[in-house]
């Protein structure tokens, strides 16, 4: 537990020169050894194989005495993991004995295997870990010296009192960890049963209760009475009304999750039952918008559509990118994806148009008004963190399946960058240009149209590009709820393990994305 051995190599602290004096002052005990080690670290002469064997043998208590937090946690973790494996050895050997008694041969063999592998793991982790610990010790301790040199209030030297802290930390963590490793955790069902029997007033052994509370799943704390079942049947006139039925007698209470899920379902049910016309209206609008766009993309004969796309790409982005576009179009056509790709494009265009129409004014509002920013930014944050799949759920709940809900889910997913980048562009318009326009008598509308929007345009166009890209990726996912297009081929291939078909469609989607991205980006840079 002390650094006496290395002391003999480095000589007594008294022999310290001017050069090594701060080292000795810092290290306190075994100053000579550390003076020499630190000096060789400073001269970059420390051998790569240098290990502080005292530290390696002593383990994390050494780090505690030296007040090196980082090293303490590393050392503690090594020992803890090794100990956990040892406890598992005990657990599995007990289980093996039990299996012998129960006459379950296959279990005996499995548990014995686990016993051996756990033992090996424990030994290897312990020995290797301690060597690494010893290797790190002096190097990390030197870093500690560097921080101490800047700020002498940082801990230095050697102090037995620090062991008290270390012991406290170990006492708080280790016992439970080791206990958990030595026990098979109770199953959730067992614990639910147990909770009921406790509620019914039966006696339950303390160990079982403890296991359920501490080492299994987080215990279910909140129990709630079941809600009434709500349905929305039609009366004789064909109007819907709300019918509530109390839950059957004697059904056990439910947990927070089931209760809230039920609540949400009821809410959605209510909205669709009584405000169905609203959702139907949206669906109808989306459908007619989509069919108009589809008529252009799918209804145009492929030869004209290809020519048009290439012409657009040439005027917008030049010859080089048009060659790439032509090659991509050939791929889509040759592999039989033409119609499907155009179908996907219609979805993307429909969703992007909606995103831009709503996102642009919203972005302007967020960019100009503090309140707008305070309201919208958190919503955008949430929209961007929710995984894309989750958007499919409310879309299906309110709009059933098919293309319209697919478009809606896509819109929600792809809208944030439009709003954000528009707001960013507006906010970054230099104050002095706005001031100049105001000084010459611009009204708010002129300010927006002649000064702010033109200067925010590059940012807005970057937003449009992002919207299109994200819409494309979401449209593929939306195939899961029947939006069709290229995504349908991929999801179908996934379901039937037709890997080849899936990969070909995947490449097609990637080419579509790259085509749009290159053209829009190039068009953007050419203009500015």
Distance (Å, whole) CA 471 – CA 320: 26
Q: What is the DSSP letter of 322?
A: H
Minimum distance of other proteins from residue 430's CB (angstroms):
8
Q: Is 510 in the site for other proteins (CB under 8 A)?
A: no
Distance (Å, whole) CA 471 – CA 467: 6
Q: Is 441 in the site for other proteins (CB under 8 A)?
A: yes
Using CB under 8 A, pick the residue from 265, 450, 496, 526 that binds other proteins: 450
Residue among 404 and 463 whose Cβ is closer to other proteins? 463
- Assign residue 44 a region: left if phi > 0, alpha if psi is -120 to 50, beta otherwise? left
Q: Is 448 in the site for other proteins (CB under 8 A)?
A: no
Residue 291 CA neighbour count, 13 Å, CB half: 5
Residue among 196 and 450 whose Cβ is closer to other proteins? 450
Using CB under 8 A, pick the residue from 202, 251, 440, 495 that binds other proteins: 440
Minimum distance of other proteins from residue 432's CB (angstroms):
4
Q: Report residue 20: phi and psi, to 5°.
A: -100, 0
Closest to 270 (Cα-Cα) out of 312, 314, 240: 240
Minimum distance of other proteins from residue 517's CB (angstroms):
25
Minimum distance of other proteins from residue 361's CB (angstroms):
21
Minimum distance of other proteins from residue 444's CB (angstroms):
9
Residue among 37 and 459 whose Cβ is closer to other proteins? 459
| C-alpha radius of gyration, the chain, whole number | 35
Closest to 453 (Cα-Cα) out of 364, 520, 517: 364
Distance (Å, whole) CA 298 – CA 369: 42
Q: Is 430 in the site for other proteins (CB under 8 A)?
A: yes
Q: Is 433 in the site for other proteins (CB under 8 A)?
A: yes
Q: Is 437 in the site for other proteins (CB under 8 A)?
A: yes
What DSSP string runs through 63-93?
A: HHHTT-HHHHHHHHHHHHHHHHHHHHHHHHH
Q: Total binding residues for other proteins by CB under 8 A?
A: 18
What sign results for the dihedral spanned by CA atoms 457, 460, 465, 471? negative
- Do 522 and 318 meet the contact criterion of CB atoms below 8 Å apart? yes
Residue among 385 and 432 whose Cβ is closer to other proteins? 432
Distance (Å, whole) CA 73 – CA 79: 10
**Of 173-181, 238-246, 273-281, 444-452: span binding other proteins (CB under 8 A):** 444-452
Q: Is 427 in the site for other proteins (CB under 8 A)?
A: no
Distance (Å, whole) CA 3 – CA 37: 13
Q: Is 243 in the site for other proteins (CB under 8 A)?
A: no
Which residues make Cβ contacts (< 8 Å) with residue 283, sequence separation at least 6? 399, 400, 404, 405
**Of 307-315, 398-406, 430-438, 505-513: span binding other proteins (CB under 8 A):** 430-438
Minimum distance of other proteins from residue 299's CB (angstroms):
38
Distance (Å, whole) CA 484 – CA 347: 9
Q: Is 443 in the site for other proteins (CB under 8 A)?
A: yes
Minimum distance of other proteins from residue 461's CB (angstroms):
13
Distance (Å, whole) CA 54 – CA 425: 61
Closest to 409 (Cα-Cα) out of 494, 463, 471, 487: 471
Q: Is 442 in the site for other proteins (CB under 8 A)?
A: yes
Minimum distance of other proteins from residue 459's CB (angstroms):
13
Q: Is 449 in the site for other proteins (CB under 8 A)?
A: no
Minimum distance of other proteins from residue 503's CB (angstroms):
45
Q: Is 455 in the site for other proteins (CB under 8 A)?
A: yes
Using CB under 8 A, pick the residue from 397, 438, 504, 513 that binds other proteins: 438
Minimum distance of other proteins from residue 420's CB (angstroms):
22
List of residues contacting other proteins (CB under 8 A) = 430, 432-433, 435-443, 446, 450-451, 454-455, 457
């Amino acid at each position: 537990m002390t650094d006496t051995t290395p002391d003999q190599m480095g000589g007594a602290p008294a022999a310290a020169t001017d050069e090594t004096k701060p080292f000795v002052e810092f290290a306190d005990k075994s100053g000579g050894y550390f003076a020499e080690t630190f000096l060789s670290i400073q001269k970059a002469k420390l051998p790569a194989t240098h290990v502080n064997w005292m530290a390696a043998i002593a383990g994390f208590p050494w780090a505690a005495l030296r007040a090196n937090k980082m090293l303490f946690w590393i050392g503690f973790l090594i020992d803890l993991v090794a100990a956990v494996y040892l406890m598992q050895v005990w657990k599995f050997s007990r289980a093996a004995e039990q299996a012998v008694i129960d006459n379950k041969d296959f279990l005996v063999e499995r548990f014995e295997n686990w016993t051996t592998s756990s033992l090996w793991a424990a030994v290897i982790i312990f020995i290797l870990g301690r060597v690494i610990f010893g290797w790190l010790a002096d190097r990390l301790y030197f870093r500690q010296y560097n921080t101490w040199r800047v700020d002498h209030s940082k801990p230095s030297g050697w102090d037995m009192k620090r062991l008290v802290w270390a012991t406290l930390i170990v006492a708080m963590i280790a016992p439970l960890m080791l206990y958990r490793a030595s026990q098979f955790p109770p199953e959730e069902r067992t614990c639910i049963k147990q909770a009921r029997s406790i509620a019914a007033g039966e006696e339950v052994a303390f160990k079982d209760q403890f296991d359920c509370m501490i080492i299994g799943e987080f215990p279910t704390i909140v129990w709630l009475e079941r809600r009434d079942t709500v349905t929305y049947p039609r009366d004789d006139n064909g109007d819907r009304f709300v019918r509530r039925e109390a839950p059957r007698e004697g059904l056990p209470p439910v947990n927070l999750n089931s209760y809230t899920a039920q609540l949400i379902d009821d809410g959605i049910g209510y909205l669709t039952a009584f405000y169905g016309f609203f959702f139907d209206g949206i669906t109808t609008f989306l459908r007619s918008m989509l069919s108009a766009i589809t008529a252009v993309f799918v209804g145009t004969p492929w030869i004209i559509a290809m020519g048009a796309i290439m012409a657009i790409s040439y005027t917008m982005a030049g010859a080089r990118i048009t060659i790439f576009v032509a090659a991509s179009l050939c791929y889509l056509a040759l592999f039989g994806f033409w119609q499907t790709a155009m179908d996907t494009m219609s979805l993307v265009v429909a969703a992007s148009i909606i995103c831009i129409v709503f996102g642009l004014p919203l972005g302007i509002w967020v960019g100009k008004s503090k309140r707008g920013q305070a309201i919208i930014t958190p919503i955008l944050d949430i929209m961007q963190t929710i995984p894309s799949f989750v958007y499919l759920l409310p879309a299906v709940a309110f709009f059933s399946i098919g293309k319209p809900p697919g478009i809606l889910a896509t819109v929600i997913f792809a809208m944030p960058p439009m709003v954000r980048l528009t707001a960013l562009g507006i906010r970054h318009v230099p104050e002095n240009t706005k001031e100049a326009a105001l000084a010459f008598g611009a009204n708010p509308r002129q300010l927006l149209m002649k000064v702010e929007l033109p200067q925010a345009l590059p940012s807005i166009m970057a937003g449009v590009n992002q919207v299109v890209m994200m819409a494309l990726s979401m449209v593929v996912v939306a195939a899961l709820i029947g939006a069709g297009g290229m995504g349908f081929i991929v999801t179908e291939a996934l379901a039937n393990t037709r890997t080849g078909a899936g990969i070909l469609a995947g490449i097609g989607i990637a080419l579509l994305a790259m085509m749009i991205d290159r053209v829009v980006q190039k068009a953007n840079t050419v203009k500015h």
